Amino acid sequence: MAYESSTGYAAPSTSNLDGDTALPMFNIEPVSLQFPLASDFVAAEVANNVLILALSTGRILRIDLDSPTDIDDIDLPKKPSEVGIIRRLFLDPSASHLIITTTLAENYYLHTQSRAPKALSRLKGVSIESISWNPSQPTASTREILVGASDGNVYEVYIEPSSEFYRREERYLKGVYKTMDGPVMGLWTDLIPGKPDLRRVIIATPSSFLHFAGKIGRHGHEGSGSIFSKLFESESATVHDLSNVAPSAPSMLAVSPESSETPTLDHTSGERIFGWLTSHGVMHGKLFLSSDTVDLGGKVINQAKMMPRSQIPPSQTASGRPRKSQDAVDSMILSQWHILQLVEGRFVAINRLDDTVVLDQPVLDPGQSALGLVADIKKDTYWLFTTREIFEVVVTDESRDVWKIMLKQQHFDAASQFAKTSAQKDAVATASGDYLVGKGQYMEAAAVYGRSTKPFEQVALTFIDNAQQDALRKYLVTKLSNLKKSAIMQRIMVATWLIELYMAKLNTLDDTITTKAELSESMNTAETQDQLSVIRREYQDFVAKYKSDLDKKTVYEIISSHGREEELLHFATVVNDYNYVLAYWVQRERWQESLDVLKKQTDHEVFYKYSSVLMAHVPVEFVEILTRQTNLEARKLIPALLNYNNITTAPLNQNQAIRFLLFEINQHQSTDAAIHNTLISVYASHPTTDEMALLSYLEAQSLGHEQNYDADFALRLCIQHKRVQSCVHIYSSMGQYQQAVDLALKYDEVELATNVADRADVDPALRKKLWLAIAKKVISQSSGIKTAIEFLRRVDLLRIEDLIPFFPDFVVIDDFKEEICTALEDYSRKIDELKKEMDDTEETAAHIKTDIKALDQRYAIVEPGERCYVCGLPLLARQFFVFPCQHAFHSDCLAKKVVELAGIAKSKRIAELQVEVSKGVSVGKKREAAIKELDALVGSSCELAVKLIDEPFISATDNTEEWAL
């Protein structure tokens, strides 16, 4: 089957507030059938996009509307003549379970996975009028469901499909309730939040509406017995009865769809709407959810309302006049906002909020009968079935007029919720504001007016004329939040006006607290203090949010004119005007506040600008802040550091300028000469006589092989402030040892001079010169010759004769006779040592001469079987060499081996000599000289044993078996 929409019956188009024509809210479209009908439809159901059609022949068609060409054609087990014609179909919301009842009270069950309906033997003879499916919507089995019969009985049944032939589909069947006033035309069960065993059950008959709520029973395992018996036995029903009910009038119970894409006031927290069709009309209301089940039924019934049948327009006669008799309602369902009814072949849609008829459209031809209206509560679709046709009721933007209805009923919050266009929202806001002003609720009206387009002047004057400054302030805040960003001038004006209002309000509250007066009979001073805090926080939040809409200069003037210091500083802080805040606190010498502002600052220019004054008054805290900053240009802080150093009397270990400079050098690894020069300047200019700190810095620079300071500048400063040790160190680091020693001696720092002289070990002559200068100073200062002599013993470069010229003329030799004798003794001892060395050398030379003479008489014994160490052949076969180490070689073998082991030059020369000797190139004395040179080169020494030490004993050509163990 395929279905196609053709031109159908449509509701008149409506217009929204903006004047745009909208699509019809309800459009009834016939669905064309793509298969021949062998018989008429007798029943139909739709759930979860699955359509079930029952034919008078007993056939059942199951169609998936998502793929309508796939049709399951299912027959009942028996012919209609045996079991009756299908009367009703009951399909659960998930489309998993189908119960079929016939005119002869035969009942069958069909699962979605099956093609063979199974007879429900325990329900045989029960004429089913309604079914309440399990609210958990199971798919494998029905679990516990309630079945309403035409005789007023309510049964609980548990149906589970089975493939066993003799096993019944029903696990159990039990009667749990019986009504006393007719058939059970409607059943509904749902869960109540709070506890898992809470249920609500609604039973509807033609004249009674019964509401049960309470706990259900539990058993050892699922499906072992009835769970609703306890509910009906222990709980009393809340009943709503109707009198004078027409016995032949149709009755039914309908519930609204599960969900909707649009927000709905009535479906908040999952609450749904019920509709009970009676001969009097349709009673409808909300199915409230509450864990307190005691008054739940009364709340549901008391807040429900009856839409009388008279609300339905009567049909017209052939002459065009309305009929006097009431038209019969054949069927009823609920959509999200409307009650849809089939009345004498007409489709009537009535808005349940205000009972207005939004559509009254004839659908059926005269004499054409209908099966009724069906709602798919899962997919929120609606259907009309006749015996030969199918119509889909297409709903478009059903909630379009809800805002108007809510507005008429003065439900402004709900109207605003459902208003969609800006014009609709504006209309709601304006009407709501006027209503609230009329009731004197100015604060509430201010928030509403702020979202409307009502003229700004009118609203502002309304609040001003009624002396409602708080409401005016709230209106301006709301209006500002809704103004476009492009409306720059309007935003600045409104924001500036709000600043004025905030200041006026704060002053008023302060005056009230000061005078301990009451603003009204219900507000005391403590409450005024609380309100002051609230308004101050509100002001702070306002400037933080809308600071871009405020002109700084204007705001400063307004706040200053009201004398609001705290608010002035808060605004300046919010807009990051730290210059203003710091200048404010510094001018008042409020140093802690100044530091608090500075801690939040990231603009380095502010640090440079206020560094001098802060270093002068709070140096410790200011330096602490400086050390936490990154990327500061430390050289820009040098003037402040020098100014602080000029006025401080703190010792060096507490000097904050030194602390910051050392931090830059040690932590930030600063190599800036200005930083290092400043540190030297502070060290050198300090009144203390202790040079250890300055000297430690200079020594650290030398140890690190660095000199980031200007040596000339440092030297001038140290000389100016008489930092002798530092000057000497600088001279030494510059390699100017003479100047270093001279300066030390100038200030009588002999020990310091000696340290320099000891370090000057590069040039012995310079070192001796330095020691002579030191000796001269020591001799000139010493009170006796003994002191000078003691100094002489400290160094090994000077002798007594070097010092004699420095002694005074009146010094006699007796004063240092002992030292001269000691020196002469040293000289004598050294002369004896030299003589002994000369004797040893002469003796060694004699031994060498004797050895040379013995060489001419040396010989070696060659045994008859001696072999060449290279070729292994008998040695005496040809010319050979024998070495003192007893190695013997053929001369040619030895030459060949020497060529292999010798260097390139020696090898080349041996080859040249061999050619000269063998080919007779040289003759006579020249040839003898060549032979002599060749023998000398070849037989100069036996080095084979040494050079062959890394070669293996067994070569690749040797027979390894001879070496086997």
For residue 167 the two structure tokens come to 């096993």
Q: What is the pLDDT of residue 957?
A: 60
For residue 784 the two structure tokens come to 């006796």
pLDDT digits (tens, 9 = 90+) for 694-719: 888 888 887 777 788 888 888 888 88
pLDDT digits (tens, 9 = 90+) for 251-276: 999 999 986 554 444 434 468 999 99
Whether the pLDDT of residue 741 is over 50: the answer is yes
Confidence of residue 42 (pLDDT cuts 50, 70, 90): very high
Tell me if 196 sits within 8 A of 234, measured CB to CB.
no
Tell me if 733 sits within 8 A of 749, measured CB to CB.
no
Mean pLDDT of 55-73: 88
Task: Name the more confident of 187 and 680.
Answer: 187
171-180, 746-755, 772-781: least confident range? 772-781
Tell me if 67 sits within 8 A of 3, measured CB to CB.
no
Tell me if 62 sits within 8 A of 71, measured CB to CB.
yes
Tell me if 641 sits within 8 A of 612, measured CB to CB.
no
pLDDT digits (tens, 9 = 90+) for 893-931: 888 887 777 777 777 777 777 777 776 666 677 777 777
pLDDT digits (tens, 9 = 90+) for 645-658: 888 888 888 888 88
Whether the pLDDT of residue 890 is over 80: the answer is yes
Q: What is the pLDDT of residue 38?
A: 72
132-136, 177-181, 201-205, 834-838: least confident range? 834-838
Average pLDDT, the chain: 82
Task: Name the more confident of 603 and 272.
Answer: 272
For residue 687 the two structure tokens come to 């009144």
Mean pLDDT of 625-631: 85
Mean pLDDT of 481-501: 91
Confidence of residue 668 (pLDDT cuts 50, 70, 90): confident
Whether the pLDDT of residue 790 is over 70: the answer is no
Confidence of residue 722 (pLDDT cuts 50, 70, 90): confident
Q: What is the pLDDT of residue 269?
A: 47
Whether the pLDDT of residue 202 is over 60: the answer is yes
Q: What is the pLDDT of residue 519?
A: 46
Structure pTM? 0.58
Cβ count near 487 (within 10 Å) = 13
Amino acid at position 698, single letter: L
Q: What is the pLDDT of residue 235?
A: 92
Q: What is the pLDDT of residue 964?
A: 54
Tell me if 418 sits within 8 A of 401, measured CB to CB.
no
Q: What is the pLDDT of residue 50?
A: 93
Whether the pLDDT of residue 238 is over 90: the answer is yes
CA distances from 433 to 278, 443, 484, 868 (A): 42, 10, 22, 131
Q: What is the pLDDT of residue 2?
A: 40
Whether the pLDDT of residue 190 is over 90: the answer is yes
Mean pLDDT of 223-242: 91
Amino acid at position 457, single letter: E
Whether the pLDDT of residue 149 is over 80: the answer is yes
Mean pLDDT of 349-362: 90
**What is the chain's length?**
965
